[in-house]
Structures are given as structure tokens and as C-alpha cells.
Amino acid sequence: MKLKQSLLFPVILFCLSGAVRLETAWAIYPWPVSSATAEAAAYITWNTDVAGTSQVSYGTTLSYGNSTSLNSNLVTYHAQTITGLAAGTTYHYQVVSTDGSGNTVYSPDQTFTTLAAPTVNVHTVKTSGGNYSTISACASAAVSGSSAGWTCEVYAGTYNEQVSVSGFTGSSSNQITFIAHDAVLVAAFSIANSSYVNVEGFEVTTTFSGSSFESCGGVTAFLLNTDSYITIASNYAHNMWSGGFVATPYHVTSTYLQVLNNVMAFAGITGISGNEYPCVGTNAGFPGVGGSANYSLFDGNVFMDADHIFTLVGSYNVFRRNIMHDTNPADWNAACASDHVDFFNPYVSNPYDEIHVLIEGNQEYNALVCNMHFSLLEGDSTSTGIVERFNLADNVDSYFMSTGDGTMSGIRIYNNTDVRTTIAAGESSDTVFVTNSPGGTVLNTLFYNAVTDDGSLWWFDGTSSPGTTPGYNLAYNTDSSTSCTWPSSVTTAPGMVLNQNPLFTQLTPYDFRLQASSPARNAGTYLTTVASGDSGSGTSLVVTDAGFFQGGLGIAGVQSDWIQVGSSGTPVQISSVNYSTNTITLANSVSRSSGQGIYLYKDSNGNQVLFGSAPDIGAYPYALAPAPASPTSVAAAAH
């Protein structure tokens, strides 16, 4: 029996040859283990490879001292609710599952921290005895009455309602906040033509006893329509009868959305025996996050079982530190031949394009079925500038990236790690640029069992010439080791490290940081160079290709990249990027000369990623701090 990572924290537990196998995600992207919180309760979820019982031990110390009631039902997806917690307090916890043969597994210790109680104009919602008896009533009063902020603090109970907020024009000092105090279940939220609204800490589902939403009416957990500055954080959305998790109408754009640290599972899947997927179409389910948005951040969310996770389209969005795991179209009765599932698959149609989008530090794992991809980036002639960096695909069935059937230019893929236990039959390439998708490249990326012998790591068709020449990647196949053959496009590419074991810190349990003697250390390359037209000094830096970097985009929680000019230059933060002129405005002046290489020094979360004279290949450099001492395989959406 094994624990699998479910939701939110940077550790994956597997079973290998009957033993528990622990996979640690690394300090470069520490998942926000204490931010999925609210006030006085917590949801804990996890997966096991065979059916087992469910229980959580918890307390304010490593001694725990408390346990949830044992759920003796044997299941593979586990969910427990902890209640009676103190606000603003850090708790330790450990999950425990026992299978039908008496084998017991424990997760390592982990922590979550509950939020402090709200203080801004608090109005209580209780099934009896509060200021309001429904969340909707509090919402209506907030829209009409808020001038300096309004909080709807919701107490324990089941609220059979789709909470609607419409026409609220707020500000940074006048926000409406819905926050769950205890274990609160509500069907859905709908926010339209509004700004500065926050939803935190709820269990959101349309599948519950007495629900008015168990029909095929298409109810999404969080429906956003022409909004701005909306925050959806620390919620546990699951078993939506006929919808996904977060959606905006296509071709109706919202801006500055923040979707943070949510746990989301089972879009269009009820979990009711004999009626598991009542509203799913033929070989098609419900996407997780879809619609249109610009300048938005999707960070620290964890997804399971949705028909594509991100289909959302828009410009200047950041998708960071999200996890997709254990998803299979068979769970919604779809055939592999008709319905594959991707982590990122934007549904682009002009004039709603993908322009300068950052996909950073995400993980996809346990997707070894149905031709799944990490990303399928299908666009049109005006879609451009996607950056995929520091992502992990672990046991994903098919391409790491493909442009599929549509045009999308300037896809820059660098410093990713693609690892598979086995190579899919016929998998002859891993990053595919086709159908008028020019200007792409693949740099500093680690491919481990990614393609078949004599397969290519990248492929550009006749309509899709590369930008920066691909190279400085590592490729290693365990089945052929040092004897694997590669096409000339790979062997003649600059800086390639072929048929050499990357020497991960450990494979059992997994830790994809590099060992000191890894051939991937300091084997990467710079991303672009100082252009010949640059002045050589000052804060206006002209480069050959600015598309590798981002300047913060004005999104809360997203830092501008830091860069380093030359192999030993002084790091400097970017203030802004003009992609049309390839001009980077710097926070401070640095001296440089034409042709010098430019490296990424810090990412959008402020993490240092360059530690030597050249970058390491892959997503997890050698010099990172050791993995956390107490990793876990569980996810908390506490409130």
C-alpha cells in the first residue's frame, strides 16, 4: 500500500516493490504548506494506491494528541475534516491509512496554519442566531452597504445556495470577503461585474444531501464574469455535479484574478455509486479552470480528475506551482481514443489569444494513460511568447509540449525535468512545434526516459523554424543507457549531454535535485545575449530576445525576474520588458558588452536559480537547500 501525493504539498508518496517510496519536491518551489487556511477547521485529503481506511492525527506539537474519527470504509481517495481548531495557530498532522490486509502507512509530519479571525466590519452568517441566516443575504447587504470593507463570516453548516455577488465596485480599501469560520459547505459562488471580492476557506460542492443543484444545469464552483481583483483562496472544491472548478465565460475577459492554494477534485464526477457522471457528454468531461482572463495568477492549486486542468486563455497570466495528479478519463467514462487530458490546453480563438504567459514550477504526475501531455499549446497567428520553465512532468504518458493543430509562436522551454518510469511505445519526440509555430526553443531541460531509442527531443515541422537554437539539454534512457542513439538534430545541437545518468539525489524515494558529480551541473547555457545595438551601460538593456523573461506584470505576488549579465556579473532585477523592441528596463545600471550571455538569476517567486558560472540542466539544481525535514503527501484546505 502506498500514499500518493494528493493536493498541495511538495512530496509524493508511491509504492515500489511493496515498500513506501517517498518523492520530495524541492526547496526551489516549496508549495505553500501553510497558506490554504482560514479560521477553525481544516480539510485534509490524500490518495493511496489500494483501498484503505482514513484517519488524521493532529495537534500543536509533534506529539499530536488528537485524531479525527476513523473512517473504516476502504477507499483510495481520502478526505477528512478537522474541526474545533484555534484561529491563527500552527498545527502538525499526519495521515494514516490501513488496507484490507492490515498494512498501515503513515505520512511524515506536516503543518498548516489557520487564519486569524477577521476584524473588518464583520457580519456573521449562521443557520440560527447570526446577523444573517444565508450567505446570499449577507452578500446582498454587502453589495449595497459596503463603503469601507465588509466581511461575511460564515459558521458551520450546509448552505444550499449559489452565492451571487453582482455589480460591486470595490477598491483596495473597500473589499467584500466571504470567510468560513468552521466547516462550511456551500454549493457555489457566482461573481459578476464586480471587483475586490474574496472567497476563502469553504467546502464547495453541488453533491450533498438535499442539494438543489444535482442536475445538469452547468453549475461551476466559482463562476466569474467580467470581474477584476477577485481572490479565490484556500477552498476545497469537489464533486461538482455538472461543472468545473473555476470558469469565466469565453470571450468575456476578467482581469487580476488570484486563484491560490485551492484543492480541487472531480469535475462532473459525483462519487455516487451508479450515478458517477450524470452530466458528462460522450467522451468529454468538464475542464478544471476555463474561460478568459488577463493579468491573473493561478498559484499553489492542486487538481485531480478534470477534463484538462487549465483551458483558460488570456495574456500576461502566471500559472505557478500548481499540481495535477492521478487523473484518468476513464473516471468520467471517456475513451482514451477520444479524450486525452492535458495540464495546460488553452482554448484559443482570435482575438482572445495567449500572449506572454508564464508557466513556472508546476508538477504533473501519475498521468500514464490516454496520450496525456503536460501542455498542448494551440493558438492562432497572434498568440506568442509562452515561457515554460522549472516544471516537472513525472510519469506523464505523452509529449511534454506540443503545439498541436494551431499556430503559436515563440514558445520558450527551459530548465524543465521530464521523467518517466517507462517510455511510451512510439514516443519519438517530446517537444513538438508544428503548424506555423516558429520561434520556439528547448534549452537546459532534462529528459529521463522521455523518448524511444533514436527519438528526437524536439521536432520542428517545415512551417515552424526555431528561434534560439535548441541545445544544452540532457537525455538519458535507462533501457539503453550509454548505447542509446539519437538523430543528427540532437547530436549536432550545441552543449548536449547524452547517455549520461543525471545522478538525481535519489530515485527511491525520489529527489530530483542533482548530486555533486552530476553531468548536468553547470552544463546549461545563457538564454539570450546583449544585442549589438545596446549602449553598454545604464538601465535600458537591449537584448537579442527578451521573450525569456518577465517584468512582474503588475500582478500581486509575482516578482519581476532577476538576471545576470555574463557568467560572473552582478545580479539585477528587471523593472519592465518591452517585447516589441527587445528592451529590458533594469532596476539598477550594470555594465556589459555586446554578445555577453544573459542568465535567469531569480524566478517570479524570488527564488535563486543560478548558483554557478552556468545554470544546471533541469528544474532542480544541485545547490538547492535540502528537502524539508517533514514532507507530506496530504493537502490541507483549512479554515
pLDDT for 626-639, tens place per residue? 543 333 334 445 45
Percentage of the chain modeled with pLDDT above 70: 89
The amino acid present at 319, given as its one-letter code, is F
CA dihedral over 156, 162, 167, 170, signed as positive or negative: positive
- What's the pTM value of the predicted model, to 2 decimals? 0.93
Looking at residue 480, its pLDDT comes to 79
Query: Which residue in the block uniquely carries the three cell numbers 524515494?
Result: 509
> C-alpha grid cell for residue 476?
538519458
Instruction: Give the DSSP H or E segment for 357.
Output: none
Taking only the tens place, the pLDDT of each residue in 185-209 is: 999 999 999 999 999 999 999 999 9
Residue 113: is its pLDDT beyond 50? Answer: yes
CA 397 – CA 404 distance, rounded (Å): 16
Residue 34: is its pLDDT beyond 60? Answer: no
CA 569 – CA 244 distance, rounded (Å): 47
Tell me phi and psi for residue 297, to 5 degrees.
-120, 130
Q: What is the largest CA-CA distance in the chain?
A: 74
> C-alpha grid cell for residue 74?
476502504
Domain extents in the chain: 3-30+39-116+633-638, 118-278+285-300, 528-602
Q: Are 95 and 1 in contact (CB under 8 A)?
A: no
The amino acid present at 299, given as its one-letter code, is D
Q: Are 334 and 374 in contact (CB under 8 A)?
A: no
Q: Are 7 and 31 in contact (CB under 8 A)?
A: no
> C-alpha grid cell for residue 284?
468529454
Task: Count the alpha carbons within 13 Å of 544 in the hemisphere toward its beta carbon.
Answer: 18
DSSP string, 294-332: ES-EEES-EEES-SSSB--B-BS-EEES-EEES--GGGG
Contact residues for 236 (Cβ-Cβ < 8 A; gap 6+):
43, 45, 79, 202, 203, 204, 262, 263, 264, 637
Q: How far is CA 570 from CA 523, 527, 548, 591, 600, in A?
A: 20, 17, 19, 9, 12
Looking at residue 212, its pLDDT comes to 97
Residue among 152, 312, 153 at smallest CA distance from 222: 312
Average pLDDT over residues 294-323: 94
Q: What share of the chain is helix, strand, coil (3-state, %, to 5)?
A: 5, 40, 55
Q: How far is CA 33 from CA 4, 92, 636, in A?
A: 17, 11, 8
Of how many residues is the chain composed? 639
Topology annotation, domain 3-30+39-116+633-638: Immunoglobulin-like (2.60.40)
Residue 315: is its pLDDT beyond 90? Answer: yes
Q: Which of 12-21, 158-167, 181-190, 366-375 has the lowest mean pLDDT?
A: 12-21
- Band of residue 1 on the pLDDT scale cut at 50, 70, 90: low
Taking only the tens place, the pLDDT of each residue in 417-461 is: 999 866 766 667 888 888 889 999 999 999 999 888 888 999 999
What are the CB-based long-range contacts (under 8 Å, 24+) for 17-24? 20/105, 21/508, 21/509, 21/510, 22/108, 22/509, 22/510, 22/631, 23/394, 23/509, 23/510, 23/511, 24/509, 24/510, 24/511, 24/627, 24/628, 24/631
CA 283 – CA 264 distance, rounded (Å): 21
Taking only the tens place, the pLDDT of each residue in 148-175 is: 999 999 999 999 999 999 999 999 999 9
Taking only the tens place, the pLDDT of each residue in 473-515 is: 999 998 877 889 999 999 999 999 999 999 998 876 678 999 9
